[in-house]
Amino acid sequence: MIFIAVYRSNLLMIMASFSGKENSELEQLYLELAAEYDLSETTYTFGGHTFRFLSVLDSYALLDRISPEEFIKDEQMPYWAEIWPSSVALASFLADELQLEGLRVIEIGAGVGMASVVAAREGASVLATDYSLEALRFARYNGMKNGVNLAYERLDWRMVQCSEQFDLLLAADVLYERVNLLPIVTAIDKLLKPGGAAYIADPRRRMAEQFLELAAENNFSITSFPGKYSSGTMPVTVNIYQMKRA
């Protein structure tokens, strides 16, 4: 079950929760983020554990930060700044359905790091990756805030430089542009150990059908698990696709 309470972060309230030298790095990172962004902190419960995640209050406000030159180069939108329904559904699935103790896990397109943090709490050794260095700052904060150990690395799924292979690969809401579909399949193939599995959460976008066809053409078998995000007045149905090499 997921309990959600969303509120605009109050700087004094958050700072009051920091105490001791061990939290000085966390406090400093919060102050840096608060100076650059309007922040939102959200509370969730997964697998009987309570988590708090920091994100950007209004991701659309970040559009003004993208110069035309940067957009032409990468066409990168600030999708990382929000907590999407697929991230919540994937985090819930990880806590309720999988045994992660001792597994080596990578998340691609991690954003603010929700799935990575939950996987680490469940006993996995996790590498959280994103193309956006801004996203990795939030993922780092959320890892520290929730008391888990995460490693962080910038990763471009169009040209994967990471040589390590992993037991599990996680991704939430990454199937939004056709140009990304084959690079993501290729990245999964490169990053998974033999016998490993990827779990891709998607809110039933039409693009996902094309992705699954590409995955099948590249020798992956697919199993679909239904999920749901129930916050607000309009529940969102999320499919979680397990990919394994056929």
Q: What is the pLDDT of residues 75-100, one digit of tens each?
A: 566 788 899 999 999 999 999 999 99
- Residue 12 is predicted with a pLDDT of 43
- Residue 1 is predicted with a pLDDT of 43
Interatomic CA distance for residues 141 and 55, integer angstroms: 10
pLDDT in tens, 142-167: 999 999 999 999 999 999 999 999 99
On the question of pLDDT at 193 being above 60, the answer is yes
Angle between helices 133-145 and 114-121 (to 10 degrees): 30
- CATH code of residue 141: 3.40.50.150
On the question of pLDDT at 65 being above 90, the answer is no
pLDDT in tens, 100-117: 999 999 999 999 999 999
On the question of pLDDT at 58 being above 90, the answer is no
Q: What is the mean pLDDT of the chain?
A: 87
Tally the domains of the chain: 1
Interatomic CA distance for residues 55 and 226, integer angstroms: 26
Q: What is the DSSP letter of 199?
A: E
Q: What are phi and psi of 6, to 5 degrees?
A: -110, 135
**Length of the chain as a residue count:** 246
- Partnered with residue 240 across adjacent β-strands are 201, 225
Identify the domain containing residue 154 by its residue range.
5-245
On the question of pLDDT at 9 being above 50, the answer is no
- Residue 186 is predicted with a pLDDT of 97
pTM: 0.86
